[in-house]
Chain A
Amino acid sequence: MKEQTDKTRLKLLKRLQKALNASPSANVAAGPCPASSSRACSVATPNLIPLLEEEITKTGGVFYLARDKEEIAQYLITLAKRVNAKTIIRDNSILLQGLKLDGVLNNEGLQVIIDYSGTRPAKETNEDKAAWRQPAKDAALGVTSIEYILADTGTVVIKSRPGLSRTLSLVPPIHVAIGEERQILPGLEALFSQGANLQPGSAVIFITGPSRTADIEQTLTIGVHGPIEFHLILLPDE
């Protein structure tokens, strides 16, 4: 669609300027906004893992500290068996490639799909809208890597990019996030004071626990639109 003609836009801006001028007393000292005072984590970072575990559990998520890479595959197999899963969808991150999960999972009869292997049709008809996303709909488990972990809220931060589609952590009923100890930050302040690191992609999502609602009688119900279970598997630093 054509960009808006400058006339309406300028009219609105002029109107705003007029409104601002109408009450100059309310225009407090112009200048930069006060910055966030708290700085990033201090030199000696305390062990944040116990706090992280506590917070994730509080929000109804499951935390698992893996001793090594092999344990991750075992964890996924157990989980898949519990819910009778046949298909798992995962992203193609370096971390997940390095875990070499696919062979082990295949041996257990589990099909592994890597992101959306098919291409998105250029012009989607109603049929292909459903069709090319079928893998995510079939998968019982969505396994993704993450960008950061926030200890004091039990949150994982995911940035969408090619190979890590937004819906991998949204459509399957169980989302398993896999992170590394070095990705843990104390909390929100630390994340945003690293500013440069959080160059926003098209979508950066903070996930804290499973999907929930309290819209009927303020009663907490888990799993309304998004995943019904949320797991974080943490790989300790070597």
Chain B
Amino acid sequence: MKNKPDNFHFQAKTALNNPSLQQALSKATTHILNKRARAIQELTDLETLRDRARRIKEQTIAQLNHYLLQLESEVRKAGGKVYWAREARDAQRYIAKLVKQKKAQLVVKGKSMVSEEIGLNEYLEKLGLEVVETDLGEYIVQLAGERPSHIIAPAIHKSREEVALLFQKKLGTNPEAEISKLTQVARERLREKFFQADIGITGANFAIAETGTIVLVENEGNIRFTTSLPPVHIVLMGIEKVIPTLADLVVFLKLLPRSATGQKLPSYVSLITGPRRDGEKDGPEELHLIILDNGRSRILSEPALRESLYCLRCGACLNICPVYQKVGGHAYGSVYAGPIGSVITPPLVGLYRARALPYASTLCGACRDICPVKINIPHMLLQLRQGLSYRWNRNLINPGYWLEKLLTITWSMGMKDEGRYRFGSKVARLLQRPFLKKQKISHLPYPFSRWTKSRDFTPLAAKPFRIWWEDNQRSSKDHERAD
């Protein structure tokens, strides 16, 4: 069964009960965080850079139409084609048309979250195409028939032994769990695919409006192959990826790799401007840029959520999140996992369907502090929670509505009168007694079980504060007298 956002609690529990996943997650997230911390330390002007990055994003998004139109005209000037897609299916159809026109059989892909978002692989496979993911992590995940569980490290949840077994089963290689050997297998298998492919599809880390340049950042070289060998290159980009100028790129090139993988610069940064030019021997004959909305304009129109469009998809907030560290990416049941995923999934798939995600956070603020563009994720999660509770809690058929009313009325009655307060706390102490085990309440009957299912309930102290206070006063007076 495919994981879904509305099944978060169950999926999280499954992940928590999986010891090998727990080990893989804690090892990987700690490792990336350490590397990041070292690389970030080198930046003496970190705060200035973060502020500048944020300003650039704020100002670009505030004039999004202007910059997208500039990008469009520059890409066309460089010989590329531009297609505006409002929904996932617009993009799918455009690509399907191209595939048909080119009589394509084999598509190679470089890491693109947007293509996951629009379910491109399944769509193209249904049309009878062979679609091959070429990033090593994505390749592993594709062979396993899974979904990436991290933006930067898609196979973060798999151990080398699991990968070796997978390769043995799917590729018939010998089951040696040595990482360099496994990498070698992927190198050989995918090399031929690059040479045979009819179409290459990538995402875009940035798109420069001023020059019509697509910027792609990677370590493996698979994106360079994807953008150099197939005769057609399709770029799938969300509307928020545009930045004004090449000079702006510097700021992001300093922040993104450091935040994502703890590198100063990754092995390869490709700046692609239009298709191959006259006299060049390789590079695609055609370059198609698909600018995709698919729900982003909904985020744009909500002031409270707009800053989620500044995201660079560096993955740092996933690594630092105490919830992600425990449940991993698949538990979220959405394309975008972790703190930022919990913010952007509700507007993309619908608030009600993703209603569990805004609560999949402790609101500790670590994501906001680590984010290279200072996105205030906890604040947005609270906004989403507010939206959810407002809608649901005013619903008169919701038993919770009546229960909450009853509780608050009783509470306010108790708090207004000392006698009632004393009586009330006595009753509560009596009531809690059967559930108390080792000073903790771990199980309560329905409807309170909905709380204790995932956390303990703090019991009332055995001795009320007032009695403790009186005893304390008395004994300190005794001391004074003794002096």
A residues engaging B (CB < 8 A)?
1, 3-4, 8-9, 11-13, 15-20, 22-23, 25-37, 55, 59, 115-116, 120, 124, 126, 129-130, 133, 137, 152-153, 155, 160-163, 165-167, 170, 188-189, 192-193, 195, 198, 200-219, 221, 223-227
In the bound complex, residues from chain B placing their C-beta under 8 Å from that of A116 are 281-282
1/0 per residue, CB under 8 A from A, across B48-79: the answer is 10001001101110111100110000000010
Our pick among B220, B265, B279 for the contact of A206 (Cβ within 8 Å) is B265
A216 touches B136 (CB 8 A): yes
Our pick among B86, B195, B228, B298 for the contact of A19 (Cβ within 8 Å) is B298
A221 touches B180 (CB 8 A): yes
B293 touches A12 (CB 8 A): yes
In the bound complex, residues from chain B placing their C-beta under 8 Å from that of A165 are 280-283
CA distance A52 to B251 in the complex (A): 21
CA distance A98 to B249 in the complex (A): 35
A209 with B267: in contact, given A203-B228, A217-B160, A224-B187 (CB under 8 Å)?
Answer: yes
A200 touches B273 (CB 8 A): yes
19 pairs of residues in contact across A and B, judged by CB atoms under 8 Å:
A15-B297, A19-B297, A30-B59, A33-B55, A33-B60, A33-B248, A115-B281, A124-B231, A137-B195, A162-B280, A165-B282, A166-B282, A200-B211, A205-B224, A208-B264, A213-B219, A215-B137, A216-B136, A216-B163
1/0 per residue, CB under 8 A from A, across B392-434: the answer is 0000000000000000000000000000000000000000000
B300 touches A225 (CB 8 A): no
A11 with B86: in contact, given A28-B62, A202-B272, A216-B179 (CB under 8 Å)?
Answer: yes
Answer whether residue B147 sits at the interface, using C-beta atoms and an 8 A cutoff: no
| Stretch touching chain A among B239-247, B358-366, B368-376, B470-478 | B239-247
CA distance A129 to B190 in the complex (A): 15
In the bound complex, residues from chain A placing their C-beta under 8 Å from that of B194 are 225
Answer whether residue B153 sits at the interface, using C-beta atoms and an 8 A cutoff: yes
Interface of chain B residues 221 through 275 with chain A (CB within 8 A): 221-222, 224-225, 227-229, 231, 239, 244-251, 253-254, 261, 264-275
CA distance A225 to B52 in the complex (A): 34
A161 with B195: in contact, given A30-B63, A216-B163 (CB under 8 Å)?
Answer: no
Interface of chain B residues 88 through 132 with chain A (CB within 8 A): 90, 97-98, 101
CA distance A200 to B274 in the complex (A): 10
B136 touches A224 (CB 8 A): yes
Distance from A129 Cβ to chain B, minimum over Cβ atoms (Å) = 6
In the bound complex, residues from chain B placing their C-beta under 8 Å from that of A18 are 297, 301
A33 touches B245 (CB 8 A): yes
Answer whether residue B450 sits at the interface, using C-beta atoms and an 8 A cutoff: no
A224 touches B270 (CB 8 A): no
Distance from B23 Cβ to chain A, minimum over Cβ atoms (Å) = 10
Distance from A4 Cβ to chain B, minimum over Cβ atoms (Å) = 5
Our pick among A23, A59, A202 for the contact of B274 (Cβ within 8 Å) is A202
1/0 per residue, CB under 8 A from A, across B138-167: the answer is 001000000000000111101110010000
